[in-house]
Structure 1
Amino acid sequence: MQDSGFVSPDEIRAHFSCAMSEMYQTEVPLYGALLELVAETNNELLHSSPSVRKHLTQTGEIQRLSMERHGAIRVGTVEELAAIRRLFAVMGMQPVGYYDLGPAGVPVHSTAFRAVHEDSLQASPFRVFTSLLRLELIDNPDLQRLAKSILAKRSIFTPGALALIARAERDGGLTKADAASFIREALETFRWHTHATVTANEYTKLHDQHRLIADVVAFKGPHINHLTPRTLDIDKVQAEMAARGMSPKAVVEGPPRRQCPILLRQTSFKALEEHVAFADQNGPEGRHTARFGEIEQRGAALTPKGRALYDRLLNAARAELGEAPTERNAVRYAALLVEQFEAFPDSLDEMRRQQLAYFRYFPTEQGLAARHVERASSLQALIDAGHVSYEPLVYEDFLPVSAAGIFQSNLGDNGNARCNSTGSQAELEAALGVPVLDEMKLYESSQARSIDLCMERCQPNSMITMHR
């Protein structure tokens, strides 16, 4: 609790994340099996690899590992997106990054709502990848008008949720009782509903235009379509899923397996076919496919230089493959990734030396003991003297190519499809009502704060130049 009597946004976010996980496990029992598999895999690796345990303990990630989740939702209108932004703000989550999935044939653009300070991320690393349907990409004017009219009739928030959002904005926070009510009311926005808001014929028209359009438009709200736990060994999870009754996608999205993981690797079990009742039906006679189980493994956040190298190597592997990665060419694609990524240094020292990744710096016991005795002219001198250690900053965000690959795998769309448009960050920001934050600047600031803290704790009275 804060001195004001309000519950901190971090605490609200942590409780909301747990409540959403419980709700989703009830809705999709296979998600519970996925959590068990991830927990077993993580525990095995932590017991067998002292170096991994040491790294996670040093960074504090070991404390957040079991509660780490990211969800994904899709909204239909700019009004819905603006209100979602206000809802997440109550939980201390801000829009970070812009993702255009149109070039991959997915008619949305997106941002990720998350906490932005490292202390808040340690308290709760819950994230929600949020996509806005681009109705202008529906090339059938009649169908576009139909979609707009359907969306205009719905309200995805309960009156209670809207009232509590307004109260938090007016008062600057929520009391413990109001926070508990807010979590209950907000969950209703993301709950699955078997009753569609459209007729079977309308659903078919929307579905034939694009399966994602039907998922966004045909239901009462932006049901959570996956809730992703974090694993420490995604290749083992991928291999184990089939044995647990899950049908894994063909390839793991992102970079290949490395000694020093970078960015984000993702896989999933394929979307479930679910019974739904259309507006002109008496019971759940229809079928809808959208929700699936996703798993992720997170690595080091890359600098602009590192990201440029990553993008170049990934694009080279996909260009040599010559088609979208599928079950048929999965083995060849994996080999091409390994071959291309030989050009990306696979040691923390080299990644830091070449400024390919962001790092968090820690004063060592030796450095703290020597603080009144020894002076150093730079951060590197403190590292060389053993007074400061470092670990890579974990990547907290997403990758457009990987997100598109997950979408396509679970929507069944042609991996080579394209939407006839270009992205527009300005349009998404206008819908949000605020600018999206630059994730690179967030990582740079976090790295800088850790350096400042090291210099303060190791040399509190020194006036030195820090070479970052």
Structure 2
Amino acid sequence: MDNSAFIHADEIRTRFSRTMSDMYRSEVPQYGTLMELVADINAATLDRDPALKTDLERTDDLERIDLERHGAIRLGTAEELSTMRRLFAVMGMEPVGYYDLSVAGVPVHSTAFRPVRDENLARNPFRVFTSLLRLELIEDETLRGEAAAILSRRGIFTDRALALIETFERTGGLDDAQANEFVREAVETFRWHGEATVDAGTYRCLNAAHRLIADVVSFKGPHINHLTPRTLDIDAVQAEMPERGIAAKDVIEGPPTRRCPILLRQTSFKALEEAIVFKGEASAEAGTHTARFGEIEQRGLALTRKGRALYDQLLASVRDEGGAGSAGQNYGVRLAKAFEAFPDDHETLRREGLGFYRYVLTDKGRQASAAGLDTSPMEALVASGHVAAYPIVYEDFLPVSAAGIFQSNLGGQEQRSYGSNASKDAFVEALGAPVQDEFEVYETAQARSVDAVREALRSSSQVSAA
């Protein structure tokens, strides 16, 4: 096949994310209300802060706000995870980061499939937080074996989706008709099914072990359990949700409100109680299942290893106080107080090496003709106005926050004493590929921007010399 006929992975990802959004909106009507709320808050924020709008336009982030969303799924077997990696590869999404949620009593470990290069993120930053159930954390050996047997009998991908993945891997791409068919077939994996694949007794046993275990094992496939729009003011969204008839979780996960947002802040509405029919039951009397919810995120500066260490230290000092996590009294006040120790202006954050920044030539830099600027220290170029530094947006996740979202939507009593059971090697083996280190991804992005500045200045000097 002529490679020129192939549809770019970014375009396939965009088609997929839009189709997923439409499907989830039809399945969970409150998601539509949430999207409208976020759009209203974003518009008001941009009207109120023209400088923010200008910065977003300058960094190509403005147009992507409406596209910005992430999803989350939970898989049951290594084969499912490996095939999901191949499915996401069709859309240019790679596994970044390893997250052990067992430390917070959630029996999964996870990665995030997402685009990694700036140009691909700018076109569509859609990402999917993907968790793999850890059956070894089920204490009841009989139940563990039964869960494994149930999962081994299901196939979560359509035959045609698998065939199109193989076509992509064999030829290097998909044409327009194949891309559209791939999206239609791939979305079926994420669709909600109200019929359980287990009987009521088995469901109750799985649910008693952990609600998330029941969610993964009891259904035909890994229904998308939430999609997440990106807001520019999560505090305003949190305050407005009740006014729109949306029951918000009690606290926003992540760092406190800041002048310079960092990492990721998340909130959600409470999980829906949805009717299901159990296998083998002839009566129309349905049971219920609680798993799917709505989430909102606000993304800020990606932190360096040094910055992340300080963040983790400050967060732990608040969450560990009294052992209550984010449920403790006056949590928000205590969190804000602790984070007074974290610099809150970009100049300090950058100079102290706490965050990652993208360097670009200013108009003054582009007009510069003096030789030698290309070898000047980057700090000197920023100080002289030849170069500007813009925060690199954090594209990944925070395990403590993810666990907090999970727990708030699983009934509030789901903490299990799993301790820390990180098993990255086992996860990578199941995945069938290494996961990228998120810090290295940001380091590379920052380094590419520095190289681009240097090259532009060298070219400018050569033109001047000629």
- State the distance in 2 between where 1:149 and 1:382 align: 62
Deviation at 1:323, TM superposition (A): 0.9
Deviation at 1:379, TM superposition (A): 1.6
1:350 corresponds, among 341, 344, 348, to: 348
Matches within 5 A, 1:34-433: 34-282=34-282, 283=284, 285-326=286-327, 329=328, 332-371=330-369, 375=373, 377-414=376-413, 416-419=415-418, 422-433=421-432
Number of equivalences: 460
Unaligned runs of 5+ in 1: 464-468
Distance 1:456 1:220, change over 3 A: same
Question: Is the 8 Å Cα contact of residues 276 and 287 (structure 1) preserved in structure 2?
Answer: yes
Distance 1:182 1:440, change over 3 A: same
Deviation at 1:416, TM superposition (A): 4.8
Partner of 1:466: none
Deviations, residues 104-124 of structure 1 (Å, cap 9, x unaligned): 110000000000111101111
SS of the residue 1:96 aligns to: strand
Deviations, residues 260-286 of structure 1 (Å, cap 9, x unaligned): 000000000010000001112233611
Deviations, residues 406-431 of structure 1 (Å, cap 9, x unaligned): 00000124365321561111100000
Question: Is the 8 Å Cα contact of residues 93 and 116 (structure 1) preserved in structure 2?
Answer: yes
- State the distance in 1 between where 2:324 and 2:106 align: 17
Code of the residue aligned with 1:447 in structure 2: it is Q
SS of the residue 1:422 aligns to: coil
Moved more, 388-397 or 418-427: 418-427
Deviations, residues 337-391 of structure 1 (Å, cap 9, x unaligned): 1111001000000000100000011111111111456736222222122111111
- State the distance in 2 between where 1:15 and 1:416 align: 38
Percent identity between the two aligned chains: 57
- State the distance in 1 between where 2:366 and 2:394 align: 28
TM-score by length of structure 2 reads: 0.96
Partner of 2:440: 441
Distance 1:382 1:194, change over 3 A: same
SS of the residue 1:132 aligns to: strand
- State the distance in 2 between where 1:212 and 1:416 align: 11
Moved more, 446-455 or 304-313: 446-455
Deviation at 1:3, TM superposition (A): 4.9
Distance 1:186 1:350, change over 3 A: same
Moved more, 231-240 or 367-376: 367-376
Unaligned runs of 5+ in 2: none
What is the CA RMSD across the aligned residues, in angstroms? 1.6
SS of the residue 1:67 aligns to: coil
- State the distance in 2 between where 1:264 and 1:420 align: 24
- State the distance in 2 between where 1:88 and 1:444 align: 24
Question: Is the 8 Å Cα contact of residues 408 and 415 (structure 1) preserved in structure 2?
Answer: yes
Distance 1:192 1:371, change over 3 A: farther
- State the distance in 2 between where 1:455 and 1:6 align: 34
- State the distance in 1 between where 2:326 and 2:415 align: 10
- State the distance in 1 between where 2:117 and 2:444 align: 9
Question: Is the 8 Å Cα contact of residues 249 and 267 (structure 1) preserved in structure 2?
Answer: yes
- State the distance in 1 between where 2:438 and 2:340 align: 26
SS of the residue 1:291 aligns to: coil
Distance 1:236 1:454, change over 3 A: same
Deviation at 1:462, TM superposition (A): 6.0
Code of the residue aligned with 1:68 in structure 2: it is E
SS of the residue 2:280 aligns to: coil
Deviation at 1:320, TM superposition (A): 2.3
SS of the residue 2:62 aligns to: helix
- State the distance in 2 between where 1:197 and 1:186 align: 21
Question: Is the 8 Å Cα contact of residues 75 and 216 (structure 1) preserved in structure 2?
Answer: yes
Question: Is the 8 Å Cα contact of residues 371 and 461 (structure 2) preserved in structure 1?
Answer: no
Code of the residue aligned with 2:373 in structure 1: it is R
- State the distance in 2 between where 1:222 and 1:440 align: 29
Moved more, 338-347 or 418-427: 418-427
- State the distance in 1 between where 2:100 and 2:444 align: 25
SS of the residue 2:44 aligns to: helix
- State the distance in 2 between where 1:48 and 1:141 align: 58
- State the distance in 2 between where 1:75 and 1:360 align: 35
- State the distance in 2 between where 1:314 and 1:421 align: 18
- State the distance in 2 between where 1:261 and 1:115 align: 22
- State the distance in 1 between where 2:414 and 2:279 align: 32
Moved more, 242-251 or 19-28: 242-251
Code of the residue aligned with 1:103 in structure 2: it is V
